[in-house]
Amino acid sequence: MSDEAEGPLAGLRIVEFVGLGPAPFAAMLLADMGADIVRIDRPNASPIVPDKVTGRSRPTVTANLKNADDIEQVKALLAGADALIEGFRPGVMERLGLGPEPLLALNPRLVYGRMTGWGQEGPLASYAGHDINYIAVTGTLAAIGTAERAVPPLNLVGDYGGGALYLALGVLAGIISAARTGRGQIVDAAMVDGAASLMSLFVEMRCAGMWADRREANMLDGGASYYGVYRCADGLEVAVGAIEPQFHAELLRHLGFEAKDFTDRMDSAAFATLRGRLAERIATRPRAEWLAMLEHTDACFTPVVALGDAPKHPHLAARGTFVEHEGLTQPAPAPRFSRTPSRIFTERRVSLSLGEALERWSDQAILSGQAGGN
């Protein structure tokens, strides 16, 4: 099979130590892009949640990391790897003898990707936490929700946006650096750091006096009439995102308003009044009628679709945003590449022994200069 058929990361070798949430998701992204990833899990481990989606495109190897022989075989695997991904609390890998120091001595080109909530150091580094805690201390959670209370945005902002995506980016940046310099390094991907980074635009707006530290008081937090969710006559919801003047004018025209009715739309003091005005008008018709008028215009007007219905949305169906795989409807690999498309690698979704994993890698042709330290 050609590299073009295997994805843009074909030839990269990564060892993933199975954990929860963000680290497996980061590994899934890289595996879908063609990276050859071996997941190392505990014997007889049962996932807390099914992992047919986030565990796709890569084989699983079981290893007892308290067994000296298994540790040596894991090290042999890592000697030929480009990167490692782990999501344990600080100190766990060190206690297993698999910390960065001995592994970078073994394989100087290794990129050691670490995924934690608090980071490898700091007063809270050794304590438990979850997405809601990480985004709470960064100012992110305080900005999301209604005026009355903050609302957790699932666990997308800390775990996946601020965690997994920054880990994947960091690992790839480390691999590029290692290819250029011959030296690997540690990637400390902390969800608190990533969540704070995601808020960069809003920090910038706040510094410019364009953002208030109150919910539903700003242009993108549900405060402004032109950016929010409204309920139709049949109880179904629509999302409105008509920020720019030309898009807002299109929205008003279809809803039967005149421009003079919303001349103060950018004034936060008028937000509540204007939201009420739009809510009252949208509540007069069922959603299907509004969509027939507005969905195929520049009014930025869409239905709020339930997760189970999303694959059936005409636009997502046309693009193949969701696919059927192993009996599950699941998100297709993203982003898309014109020459080396990502895909879900069915043939890699197997269980291997450590010996089989080592043999598999030793038998494969690899890209020149790609293998760590060998």
Provide the residue-wise pLDDT of the chain in tens; the chain has 374 residues.
Answer: 445 568 999 999 999 999 888 999 999 999 999 999 999 998 877 766 668 899 999 999 999 999 999 999 999 999 999 999 999 999 999 999 999 999 999 999 999 999 999 999 999 999 999 999 999 999 999 999 999 999 999 999 999 999 999 999 999 999 999 999 999 999 999 999 999 999 999 999 999 999 999 999 999 999 999 999 999 999 999 999 999 999 999 999 999 999 999 999 999 999 999 999 999 999 999 999 999 999 999 999 999 999 999 999 999 999 999 999 989 999 999 999 999 999 999 888 888 889 999 988 886 644 333 334 33
- Whether 130 is catalytic: yes
pTM of the model: 0.92
Report pLDDT for 369: 36
Which residue is catalytic, options 130, 261, 298, 313? 130
CA distances to 87, 151, 153 from 192, rounded to whole Å, are 14, 18, 15
Which residue is catalytic, options 32, 82, 159, 188? 159
Amino acid at 207: C
Say which CATH topology domain 3-199+320-363 has.
Rossmann fold (3.40.50)
The structural domains of the chain, with segments of one domain joined by +, span 3-199+320-363, 237-303
Tokens of 181: 């310099």
Report angle CA 76, 7, 27 to the nearest 5 degrees.
50
Report pLDDT for 365: 42
Provide the pairing of β-strand 328-331 with 322-325. antiparallel
Fold agreement (3-199+320-363, 237-303):
no
Evaluate whether the domain defined by 237-303 bears CATH number 1.10.3720.10: no
- In degrees and rounded to multiples of 5, residue 230 shows phi and psi of -130, 150
- Whether 159 is catalytic: yes
Q: Are 323 and 52 in contact (CB under 8 A)?
A: no
Q: Are 24 and 54 in contact (CB under 8 A)?
A: yes
Cβ neighbours for 38, distance < 8 A, ≥ 6 positions apart: 13, 14, 15, 16, 58, 59, 60, 61, 77, 352, 357, 361
